[in-house]
Chain A
Amino acid sequence: MKSGRWITQTESSTYLNEAMAIWLRDLRSEFRTRYAINAILMFAVTTLVAVSFSIGAFRIGEAEKPFLYAVLLWIILVFSALSGLSRSFVKEEEAGTMDVLRLSARPQAVFLGKLFFNLTLLGALELIIVPSFILFMEYEIEFPGFFAAMTISAGLGLGAGTTIVAAMIAQASARGALFSALSFPLLFPLMITAIKGCERAAAGMDSAGWPEVRIAVAYVIIMIIMSLFLFPLIWEE
């Protein structure tokens, strides 16, 4: 359906309006069922507990902590994200509402709406896990502003890099493993940047200009633009 009116489109409607409509609808349904957020948090919490417990008694040198803890934190965040972010499209496929979604808004709006939803999930994930991690592991952070900016920008990157992949695998078979396999190579540079940035922030190394945050932001912008461009190709029937 290329021409004609979209269900959510009015005379003054923009991509953003349609996207927000989809986002709010997903938020409402998620608020009721809490299916995706539960899956993600469950994964994150269990991993965090396992890490905290295993490391707990072990004496790690103070010099090693900034880097090692950054690595552990991002392993937890990335793999929790990979366990739950495909839900945004897979649930539509399972409920049989993919076609309804196709009719209800323009492809780019669908992408943006789902992206916002994924970013909301990621925001919740980070809000809960990052402070918990810092607390349980007694992670000392010299530059909290830099650290926060790093986790936020890389969190955005996690969403930006995976949403279009989620849309693809929802239309394929063997979804779970495929989503992780496809997403991980795309996320790898971001993950490395996030680890380095958090290490820098924690250790108090020279971080004029917050270089890693800039790299993450560049990643977010490029991935979103390319996804907006490519999404219609994989979305149309």
Chain B
Amino acid sequence: MKDGLGFVMAVNLIIWFGIAFYLFILDRKIKKLEGTRAGQDT
């Protein structure tokens, strides 16, 4: 069973980095929206 461990770990890491990447992109998008919002406040 120990042989599968590396595989499971790799899957976990891929999922995690996928999540982190998604959150990063989301964060950038929101920052952009917040920026334009502030600019349009008349």
**A–B direct contact (CB < 8 Å):** no
A interface, CB within 8 angstroms of B: none
